[in-house]
């Protein structure tokens, strides 16, 4: 029987959330939050992907992970799934922290939404319908990138609310769209 990387990731969410609760009791909250400067606590590039700010945050990311993850895991190996999830989530968090510092005060980030958006981006761009459409329309690679960036921007704006890591959502979705178009997770 194969193990589900989606369910394993949900398990990591729960373990990290429990560890966050314990760490908060002893004042070690910084173990999980990706904050500037990135060189101060580099391990938070990983821990922040699996950490969540509240039970509601955990539940919303868990539901979205179930919806997208179970579909993506059918197309790839267990280890590719985990590597993709962590890489996209880490890059989304780093981008959020760095760009928030450019447009205002740098903000800290935690949560899996950038990685989850990456999974949905992969599903959107890496399916037969999208591939057939892009082949038929014959867009240049630059035009395809522009189309993906526009789609990522539109979804990001549509899902935005105050306090949401919009840059991380955009980054995750764009990386997922590009990876899906290239088929990097397909066996």
* CB of 41 closer than 8 Å to CB of 32: no
The per-residue pLDDT for range 64-109, each reduced to its tens digit, is 999 999 999 999 999 999 999 999 999 999 999 999 878 777 789 9
With respect to CATH, is domain 5-182 assigned 3.90.180.10? no
Residue 129, C-beta contacts closer than 8 angstroms, at least 6 positions apart: none
Q: How far apart are CA 74 and CA 76, in angstroms?
A: 6
What one-character-per-residue DSSP string does 15-38 give? HHHHHHHHHHHTT-GGGT-B-SST
Residue 125 confidence class, pLDDT cut points 50, 70, 90: confident
187, pLDDT greater than 60: yes
51, pLDDT greater than 90: yes
Token pair in block for residue 58: 């955990």
Q: What is the model's pLDDT at position 77?
A: 95
Between 65 and 170, name the one with better pLDDT.
65
Q: How far apart are CA 112 and CA 40, in angstroms?
A: 21
């Amino acid at each position: 029987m194969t193990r589900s990387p989606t369910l394993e990731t949900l398990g990591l969410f729960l373990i990290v959330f429990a560890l966050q609760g314990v760490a908060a009791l002893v004042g070690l909250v910084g173990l999980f939050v990706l904050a500037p400067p990135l060189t101060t606590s580099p391990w938070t590039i990983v821990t922040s992907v699996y950490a969540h700010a509240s039970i509601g945050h955990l539940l919303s990311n868990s539901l979205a992970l179930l919806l997208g993850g179970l579909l993506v895991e059918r197309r790839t190996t267990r280890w590719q799934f985990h590597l993709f999830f962590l890489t996209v989530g880490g890059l989304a968090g780093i981008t959020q922290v760095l760009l928030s510092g450019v447009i205002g005060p740098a903000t800290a980030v935690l949560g899996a939404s950038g990685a989850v958006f990456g999974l949905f981006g992969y599903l959107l761009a890496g399916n037969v319908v999208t591939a057939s459409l892009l082949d038929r329309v014959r867009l240049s690679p630059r035009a395809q990138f522009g189309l993906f960036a526009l789609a990522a921007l539109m979804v990001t704006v549509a899902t935005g609310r105050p306090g949401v890591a919009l840059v991380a959502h955009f980054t995750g979705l764009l990386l997922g769209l590009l990876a899906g178009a290239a088929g990097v997770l397909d066996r």
